[in-house]
Structure 1
Amino acid sequence: MILLLGGTTEAKEVACCLEAAGMPYIYSTRTEVKFEGKGVSRFGALNKEGLECFCFTNRISCIINACHPFAHELHHTVAAASLNIPKIRYERGFPERAQHELVHYIKDYSEALAWTENSGFTSMLALSGVQSIPHLRSFWQKHRCWFRILDRQYSKDFASRHSFPADYLLFGLPQEKEEEVTLFQKLNPDLILTKESGLNGKLDSKIEAAIACHIPILVIEKPELPRAYKLVHSQQELLHLFQHE
């Protein structure tokens, strides 16, 4: 039995690949999501001990981590688990880092806040996800700040728990460049913040739209993966790895 850690477009690709190969799997996500695959689905966060117990109980022979690039805690939980089984990272594609005076790559939210303070910006459009709301509290408590988040109850409840004003929530997914330009021009923020979320996160569209609107954009660099993983980038690479295990 394979444990597929999902919640992303990549995870759906892996699920289809496993089904086509006739390989049984459990599809696991942190929060409850609609899943239409043939595998068994479950949800709920797992710590190191919980993951070890789950894998032992369900006779897991391999873990495929296809979660979001910024699921930092989960990446390290899987890597640290005392499991003598393959740990595979199914990685999405990432565009080459942009070289432009309006595009700035940074390490974390602290650097983003320092950047806004040093530059004197008083408005921001955050495309960094609902989890970034508490990290940017010191900015949005004093200045205009919009967050684009997924239109689901978990995200709305999370924002509410952190007392973020509902009027500044935008619901939706990343768009193509033209749609992003329309949004950026409408809000006209001093600054845009996003994550290095790869091609499936439409990072290239966000950067191109910001440049077109002459708005500085900060990009939080994706975290490094632990060395415990075997890295694959396609269904073909994944199947090849299984065939040679």
Structure 2
Amino acid sequence: MSAHVLVLGGTTEARELAAELTARPGVRVTTSLAGRVSQPGALPGDVRIGGFGGPDGLATWLREHGVDAVVDATHPFAATISAHAARAAAVAGVPAVLLRRPGWEAGPGDRWHAAATLAEAAALLPGLGRRAFLTTGRLGLAAFAHLDDLDFLVRSVEAPEPPLPRRTRIVLARGPFTTDGEAALMRAHRIDILVTKDSGGAATAPKLAAARALGIPVVIVRRPPAPEGIAVVPDVATALSHLGIR
């Protein structure tokens, strides 16, 4: 077949999908990145960086570049981008699919506390612990900045920008991580509560296993809902099958 597929990327699944697509004769893939990471890893196929100017701008780009299908493989919390992608694909008449890896599920021994937003997560902390391990990424940390009586260990791929909690230590690291490594980090910093988004996937799940082993409670921020009118698939193989790409 001959097709041009636009992958809205930034995740491990997006990278895997781009590799699968470029290996197929006649399939051209363009991966679009938002540009939030200054040095993204190399990707197969064409790569563009930056926004499209909202859903109308994306719809225009789809038409002008002869896109035959769109796969939204952005982070599960990239709600605005996902909404724009669904709307733009519908306007342009281009089939689209949302590739969203399954979320994590609590198991025996887990002490999870669900929050709908980062602000709600911050409100839960004083009643649960005093030394928090924040693994919610470098954006949105202002939600915790008012908690002057708590100590924070913040981990992100790139340095976060203020405002930050007053008593904060920053660790720059990129997964995948190991359970033993996560447990050692939590012990070294005397962590007594973990805060994370429900990103899903295996690369960063070891922190949950470490928290379970150490008896540490976890505040987990729930995912935003998927946009209406777009098929949601859990993995690369299902995305390819849904689009009719073998």
**Per the shorter chain, which TM-score range?**
0.7 to 0.9
Residue 145 of structure 1: which of 152, 159, 166 is its match? 152
Q: Does 1:9 align with 2:12?
A: yes
Separation in 1, partners of 2:103, 2:92:
29
In structure 1, the partner of 2:201 is: 199
5+ residue gaps, structure 1, are none
Cα–Cα, structure 1 residues 122 and 177, in superposed 2: closer, same or farther, change >3 Å?
Answer: same
Of 39, 46, 58 in structure 1, the residue corresponding to residue 65 of structure 2 is 58
Residue type at the aligned position of 2:62: C
| Counterparts of 2:128 and 2:15, CA distance in 1 | 42
Equivalent positions of 1:123-162 (< 5 A) are: 123-139=131-147, 141-150=148-157, 155-156=158-159, 159-162=160-163
Give CA deviations for 1:160-189 in whole Å, capped at 9, x if unaligned. 353667961111124111110000101112
Runs of 4+ displaced beyond 6 Å: 164-167
SS in 1 for 2:81: helix
The match for 1:40 is 46
**TM-score, scaled to structure 2:** 0.85
d(CA) in 1 for partners of 2:11, 2:199 = 11
Aligned partners of 2:211 and 2:218 also within 8 Å:
yes
1:122 paired residue among 108, 111, 130: 130
Instruction: Name the CA distance, whole Å, in 2 between partners of 1:5 and 1:33.
Output: 17
TM superposition score normalised by structure 1: 0.85
Q: Secondary structure at the match of 2:232?
A: strand
* Corresponding residue for residue 192 of structure 2: 190
The alpha-carbon deviation at position 29 of structure 1 amounts to: 0.3
Change (3 A) 1:191 1:228: same
Corresponding residue number in structure 1 for 2:96? 87
Verify the 8 A CA contact 1:93 1:200 in the aligned structure 2: no
Secondary structure class of the residue paired with 1:130: coil
State the distance in 2 between where 1:112 and 1:71 align: 18
Structure 1 pair 52/165, CA: closer, same or farther in 2 (3 Å)? farther
Q: How many angstroms apart in 1 are the aligned matches of 2:77 and 2:104?
A: 16
Q: How does 1:93-112 map to 2 (within 5 A)?
A: 93-100=102-109, 102-112=111-121
Q: How many residues align?
A: 236
Shift of 1:237: 2.1
More deviation, 176-185/14-23? 14-23
Contact conserved, 2:112 with 2:220, CA < 8 A, in 1?
Answer: yes
1:191-236: CA deviation from partner (whole Å, max 9, x where unpaired): 2101111123432x22221122222111111222112222223333
> 1:29 and 2:24 equivalent?
no
In 2 relative to 1, CA 104–78 (structure 1 residues): closer, same or farther, beyond 3 Å?
same
* RMSD after superposition: 2.4
Amino acid at match of 1:2: V
Take 1:50 and 1:7, find their aligned partners in 2: how far apart are those partners? 20
Residues 156, 174 of structure 2: 8 Å contact kept? yes
Cα distance in structure 1, aligned partners of 2:121 and 2:164: 21
Q: Is the 2:145–2:166 contact (alpha carbons within 8 Å) kept by the matching residues of 1?
A: no
Structure-1 separation of matches of 2:167 and 2:20: 40
Unaligned residue ranges in structure 2 (runs of 5+): none
Q: Which amino acid aligns with 2:24?
A: A
- 2:74: which partner in 1? 67
Compared CA separation, residues 226 and 167, structure 1 to 2 (3 A): closer
Secondary structure of the residue aligned to 1:138 is: coil
